[in-house]
Structure 1
Amino acid sequence: MKLYMQVLGFIKPYWKGIVLIIVLTFSYVIFNNLSIWISIDFVRELFSPAYVQQQSVPPDSVQVVSSADELQDIVKNSQGIYQKLNSKIKSFIIRKDRLETLKIVCLVIFLAFLMKNVSQYSRKLLLIFIQARVVVDIRNKLQRKFLHLPLSFFHQHHSGTLTSIVFNDVNAIQQVLNQSFGKIILSPLQIIANIIILLMISVKLSLITFIILPISFFVIYKIGQSIRRRSRRVFQQVADVVLAFQESISAINIVKIFTSEKREEERFKKTNFQYFQKLFRAERIKIATTPINEILLVLTLVTLLWIGGRMVYQNEGLQPEDFVRFLVFLFAMFKPIQEFSGINNVMQTGLAAAERVFNVLDQPEETYDAPDAIELKEFKKEIKYDHVYFKYNNEDEFELQDLHFTIKKGETVAFVGHSGAGKTTIVDLLPRFYPVSAGRITIDGIDINRIKLFSLRKLIGLVSQETVLFNDTIRGNIAYGHPDASEEAIIKAAKAANAWDFIQQSELGLDTHIGERGVKLSGGQKQRLAIARAILKNPPILILDEATSALDTESERLVQEALDHLMQSRTVLVIAHRLSTIRNANKIIVMHHGKIDAIGTHTELYEKSSIYRTLYENQLLIGEIKKKPAS
């Protein structure tokens, strides 16, 4: 119930609409029950033998209601709420003239059904509006949450799983709202109204009904628990199906080059079949609810027919008309009871999805502004890593240990080491992609945890080896983060990044769409757009994850020229893959198993660091092998 209340929490902003829905629901229930009541009176009175007797038997010998005065006497002498209510309704619709009675009955039935349907239409329209808005709000909140979660969360969760939550799981919540939100207001009101009427007609028959019905509710509850467990497994499996599909499509070139189409096909089939099995098991339980419920309801009906029939035959205070009305309203109550049981099934399915949604929404966000956070508008002196330790989880071992070094403003500092040495993690700590586990990082003597996050990241630019571009125009990608940038500034950045020539040759120039992840561009063109984006940002601190390592010679030359331009008058942290590109760095930090092995210039490290010397000589050897002509 807690989860359902969390879902309903999204409805709180629309409370005025909810109040109106409740009012319209009351109106619908009243007019619906009135239409049923009048319909019974229509059959009872309009086609009663009384009218026939009225035409052929002297009035003084007829023992039926034949005038308004007699009806008034019945009202006065009636005992009990039911008799009084029944008499008042009859006094309104029954006339001496059968045609006049027919006219009134037809008018009342029409108005009752008209008002019932007007109320129902208005109620459903409001429900659809609120439900659609709630689903949009949930997706918006999830998107906002993802954007404010730390990078560690995304390293622990696959994008396919997160995509499944945003679309499949939220769709399931939408189904909960569509199929349960309106009924959870309507069905209880219908049931309560019918119970009141049943008690008014016969307390004895009502008590028998209330003894049998709880058994049905208990069975429904137990089935619902099973449905929720199985639905949770179904949603987890849906995420696996999305993941399998997404991986096979996103890596389609690798799949094809390794001729692994059959293997991927079988992998997807297996995952999809597991989804089928779990879905079938869950649906098997769902569809059992209706027949079980109906069997219990029929048992109730048969019992009531036997007891109520005996009461009528033996004249034990129950008239045939009352018994018919009791059965009609009891039957009318079966539908909301069945719907209420269906609500439970739908809710359990949706709540299994809601668990995953709210598990994301409950995740702790990045700390954007500490209580004493300050705005850092410029970088003046130095960056200092002060005995920094880092690990991803409390249970893990430290990835980085006792990092202690200083980067002066304007310096280029390179980080080298074997794969897994911790180079990328070091620079990821500076923009607070991850929190420092121990020690601290300062900019101009200020702990970065005390700097407002947006102002910290505004000082830092990033050009990575894996270029990230958006499915937008060239203009939109260069001006990302600066949507109001002038065309002159965009062109200037493009020229500085050696990108203007190929932009001019594109079909629509700056307004050319580059496709998903820049699929329409070459690797070098992508990198130059990323560099142009960084140039337009104009940050004083720059992080470079060797952006030329995967490029051909000509593209590398153009990108390197763009990088040289970008690095001018900036403090640069370089993750170096090609040591030849960082020989002129002011400082090189050699990493080994998360620790600093040595710090110095190229010449100093070549003399004193065996790790650096080995790395450098191995790369020289590879370079010489590549230069040798094929025999």
Structure 2
Amino acid sequence: MKYILDVFKRYLIPYKGKVFLTFLYNVLGAFFGAISFASFSPILGVLFKTQKMVSDPGPLSWTSIDSLKMHLNYYVSQLIVSSDASSVLLLIGLFMLFMVFLKVGFTYLAIYVMVPLRNNVVRDIRVDLYNKVTSLPIGFFSEERKGDIIARMTGDVSEVEASVMNSLEMFFKNPVIILVSLSVMIAMSWQLTIFVFVLLPVVGYFIGRVGKSLKKPSMKGQNKMGEILSRIEETLTGLRIIQAFNAEKSVRARFYEESNDLRNIMNGLMWRRALAHPMSEFLGTAVIVIVLWYGGSLVLMGSESPLAPEEFITYLVFFYSIINPAKAFSTALYSIQKGMASMERIDAILNAEVKVVDGTKIIAKDDFKEHIKYDNVSFKYKDNGPFVLKNVDVEIKKGQTVAFVGQSGSGKSTLVDLLPRFWDVVEGKITIDGVDIRDFTSHSLRDLMGNVNQEPILFNDSFYNNITFGVEDATIEQVIDAAKVANAHEFIIATEDGYESNIGDRGSKLSGGQRQRVSIARAVLKNPPIMILDEATSALDTESEVLVQQALDNLMKNRTSIVVAHRLSTIRNADLICVFDKGEIVEMGTHKSLYDANNIYRKLVDMQMHNR
């Protein structure tokens, strides 16, 4: 319950005005509903001719139930005296109808205010989740399945909407109805109401036990759905390999097994959930039977009875009026237990630690003047894991092209990822113009840099929107100029809609070289002073490599460039080449000096020349 209140507190406080109005309208609806039910007593009194004629009600006291009843009976008596019983029934009926009109009117107003309140909360949860996902470090996603994250952002949010937010009305409406009805019931017969109070906790205990049992299987079901979505995402991404290796039967069998597990989990969950209505109905009926027995016994006491027959029937009307809200309330508790399992999965992301945070100085860096320096940098991905970078020292001066080379897994890409702070160094520091990059805002730091990766990351959108991604207010002329620098303009205008043509999912309508040149055009348009090129030509054929390399040469003009190179022929003219081995820089120099030194670099060059 504490967790539920915490969730409501987080997301309802911004809408406290709507919360207050919803509560107020529900109170007014319950109040006028109680008055309409209270009209039963004089109606029954007139019908059964048990209505006592009151000629002197005495002084009116608003705090005394007996005084209010006496004055109500007095006015009914005056009506009976001045007109016939049929007219009295009509007038009381019309009064009751007016009270019901007020009741349903305020009830609708409560729902009218509740609808945007509920939808606002669901929107806020979804937006908070998306914002958190876009702010989490890259490392978070290397340990999480993308499909499971998608499941949390879609299925779990939908479950919270269906289970928790749909139950908000129950929390604002039903407790008020129950409270008002119980207050009237206490005023009518405190003995009978105390008897009811003894029964209700017993009923609530059994309902609560079943409700709590929903949370664990619900969590298992949502986790399994996350695994299934991960499987679907992997299948769509790797469909070419699945078909190439004739692995359809294997992946189908695995998917069937996981889907069957989800079916079994959901069967158990829905069986328990379906138990809510019959159990609450049976227990509610049992309570009514017991109340009928005990209340009837009080009425049958005759003149000594504390409860008149018409009052007992009216009491039963009030009691019945709390049965449906109580059952709906218990059903809401079932739903909330299920929804809370989804909310906990959402909170696992919302509460995930953002390890890359801006420093205390928070400097907005808007230019690059002198140099980048890696100062005794060491790094490891996990606290208890091995170091993948050890004591790296390198200085990159403005305008230089510096290349990092070495075998796969030697730490080249990791070192580059530390510069835009996709990760933070464990030991040492990285400075730009003598200032630790952790003292810069992440936004201003990354604004100084452009990235071209080994695998171009493009979006299912037009050429224009992909090239202008992250750049506001770019003109078509600027986009065309950037595409020309990247050797992309010719093949773009050859498409049916030119720059407005859709490139497909991840650029699937383009060749590898075309995708890379579009990503280069994006970097050109951003026009940053620092360029990071992470094996930008390693996955291309020879012809595409020539075109892309020309585009890269254009891109690197008058810029500071950091190049992670697999094909060493592309970095022969670099101002500085750093050779990595097992997380350390073991050689530094120009191509000629390193080749003449006849060490690791020369072996790498000779191996590639031999393989050609």
Change (3 A) 1:77 1:30: closer
Indicate which of 50, 73, 76 corresponds to 2:56: 73
Pairing 1:521-532 to 2, within 5 Å after superposition: 521-532=510-521
2:549 aligns with 560
Alignment length (residue pairs): 605
Pairing 1:422-501 to 2, within 5 Å after superposition: 422-501=411-490
| Residue identity in the other structure for 1:13 | P
Q: Report SS of the residue matched to 1:21.
A: helix
CA contact (8 A) 2:25 2:110 kept: yes
Task: Tell me how far apart the structure 1 counterparts of residues 62 and 140 of structure 2 sit (CA, whole Å).
Answer: 71
| Residue identity in the other structure for 2:224 | Q
Residues 508-553 of structure 1 deviation map (CA, whole Å, 9 limit, x = unaligned): 2222222221222221111111111111111121111122222233
Task: Tell me how far apart the structure 2 counterparts of residues 79 and 493 of structure 1 sit (CA, whole Å).
Answer: 81
Gaps of 5+ in 2: none
Task: Tell me how far apart the structure 1 counterparts of residues 148 and 68 of structure 2 sit (CA, whole Å).
Answer: 60
2:396 aligns with 407
Pairing 1:232-251 to 2, within 5 Å after superposition: 232-251=219-238
Task: Tell me how far apart the structure 1 counterparts of residues 204 and 342 of structure 2 sit (CA, whole Å).
Answer: 24
Task: Tell me how far apart the structure 2 counterparts of residues 108 and 91 of structure 1 sit (CA, whole Å).
Answer: 16
Residues 592-618 of structure 1 deviation map (CA, whole Å, 9 limit, x = unaligned): 221222222333333546433333232
Deviation of 1:209 (Å) = 1.4
Deviation of 1:560 (Å) = 1.1
Please say if 1:7 is aligned against 2:7.
Answer: yes
Q: Report SS of the residue matched to 1:47.
A: helix
CA contact (8 A) 1:597 1:609 kept: no
Task: Tell me how far apart the structure 1 counterparts of residues 568 and 369 of structure 2 sit (CA, whole Å).
Answer: 29
1:353 aligns with 342
2:531 aligns with 542
Task: Tell me how far apart the structure 1 counterparts of residues 487 and 61 of structure 2 sit (CA, whole Å).
Answer: 98
Task: Tell me how far apart the structure 2 counterparts of residues 426 and 472 of structure 1 sit (CA, whole Å).
Answer: 31
| Residue identity in the other structure for 2:55 | Q
Residues 565-615 of structure 1 deviation map (CA, whole Å, 9 limit, x = unaligned): 111122211111112222222222121221222222333333546433333
2:326 aligns with 337
2:19 aligns with 18
Change (3 A) 1:202 1:102: closer
Task: Tell me how far apart the structure 1 counterparts of residues 166 and 446 of structure 2 sit (CA, whole Å).
Answer: 45
Task: Tell me how far apart the structure 2 counterparts of residues 467 and 79 of structure 1 sit (CA, whole Å).
Answer: 77
| Residue identity in the other structure for 1:138 | I
Change (3 A) 1:17 1:387: same
Residues 63-82 of structure 1 deviation map (CA, whole Å, 9 limit, x = unaligned): 864xxxx3333677999944
Task: Tell me how far apart the structure 1 counterparts of residues 51 and 580 of structure 2 sit (CA, whole Å).
Answer: 106
Indicate which of 556, 559, 565 corresponds to 1:576: 565
CA contact (8 A) 2:216 2:341 kept: yes
Pairing 1:593-608 to 2, within 5 Å after superposition: 593-608=582-597
- The farther-off stretch of 23-32 and 296-305 is 296-305
Residues 9-45 of structure 1 deviation map (CA, whole Å, 9 limit, x = unaligned): 2122211111111111011111222222224543x14
Task: Tell me how far apart the structure 1 counterparts of residues 480 and 241 of structure 2 sit (CA, whole Å).
Answer: 36
Pairing 1:130-279 to 2, within 5 Å after superposition: 130-279=117-266
Quote the sequence identity (%). 36
CA contact (8 A) 1:227 1:282 kept: yes
Q: What is the Cα-based RMSD across aligned positions, in Å?
A: 2.3
Q: Report SS of the residue matched to 1:421.
A: coil
Deviation of 1:240 (Å) = 0.9
- The farther-off stretch of 296-305 and 382-391 is 296-305
| Residue identity in the other structure for 2:5 | M
Q: Report SS of the residue matched to 2:460.
A: coil
Change (3 A) 1:523 1:88: farther
Deviation of 1:353 (Å) = 1.1
1:626 aligns with none
Task: Tell me how far apart the structure 1 counterparts of residues 414 and 60 of structure 2 sit (CA, whole Å).
Answer: 91
Please say if 1:314 is aligned against 2:293.
Answer: no
- The farther-off stretch of 375-384 and 351-360 is 375-384
CA contact (8 A) 2:404 2:580 kept: yes
Please say if 1:618 is aligned against 2:607.
Answer: yes
CA contact (8 A) 1:542 1:571 kept: yes
CA contact (8 A) 1:3 1:354 kept: no
Deviation of 1:164 (Å) = 1.1
Q: Report SS of the residue matched to 2:195.
A: helix
2:273 aligns with 286
Task: Tell me how far apart the structure 2 counterparts of residues 220 and 46 of structure 1 sit (CA, whole Å).
Answer: 41
CA contact (8 A) 1:384 1:441 kept: yes
Task: Tell me how far apart the structure 2 counterparts of residues 24 and 79 of structure 1 sit (CA, whole Å).
Answer: 23
Change (3 A) 1:64 1:449: closer
- The farther-off stretch of 597-606 and 70-79 is 70-79
1:59 aligns with none
Task: Tell me how far apart the structure 2 counterparts of residues 289 and 177 of structure 1 sit (CA, whole Å).
Answer: 16
CA contact (8 A) 1:369 1:453 kept: yes
Q: Report SS of the residue matched to 1:19.
A: helix
Change (3 A) 1:528 1:127: same
| Residue identity in the other structure for 2:136 | L
2:491 aligns with 502
Deviation of 1:301 (Å) = 2.6
| Residue identity in the other structure for 2:537 | T
Task: Tell me how far apart the structure 1 counterparts of residues 42 and 609 of structure 2 sit (CA, whole Å).
Answer: 102
Task: Tell me how far apart the structure 1 counterparts of residues 465 and 541 of structure 2 sit (CA, whole Å).
Answer: 26
Q: Report SS of the residue matched to 2:39.
A: helix
CA contact (8 A) 1:415 1:589 kept: yes
What is the TM-score with the length of structure 1 in the denominator? 0.91
Deviation of 1:456 (Å) = 1.5
Pairing 1:291-306 to 2, within 5 Å after superposition: 291-306=278-293
CA contact (8 A) 2:45 2:310 kept: no
CA contact (8 A) 2:45 2:51 kept: no
| Residue identity in the other structure for 1:241 | I
1:60 aligns with none
Q: Report SS of the residue matched to 1:603.
A: helix
Please say if 1:396 is aligned against 2:396.
Answer: no
Task: Tell me how far apart the structure 2 counterparts of residues 230 and 604 of structure 1 sit (CA, whole Å).
Answer: 65
Task: Tell me how far apart the structure 2 counterparts of residues 210 and 548 of structure 1 sit (CA, whole Å).
Answer: 77
1:58 aligns with none
Task: Tell me how far apart the structure 1 counterparts of residues 591 and 301 of structure 2 sit (CA, whole Å).
Answer: 111
Residues 229-253 of structure 1 deviation map (CA, whole Å, 9 limit, x = unaligned): 2211111111111111121122222
| Residue identity in the other structure for 1:115 | L
Task: Tell me how far apart the structure 2 counterparts of residues 102 and 198 of structure 1 sit (CA, whole Å).
Answer: 24
Gaps of 5+ in 1: 51-62, 624-631
Q: Report SS of the residue matched to 1:10.
A: helix
Deviation of 1:280 (Å) = 1.8
Q: Report SS of the residue matched to 1:434.
A: coil
Deviation of 1:106 (Å) = 2.9
Residues 288-324 of structure 1 deviation map (CA, whole Å, 9 limit, x = unaligned): 2333333333333333222222222232423222222
Q: Report SS of the residue matched to 2:396.
A: strand
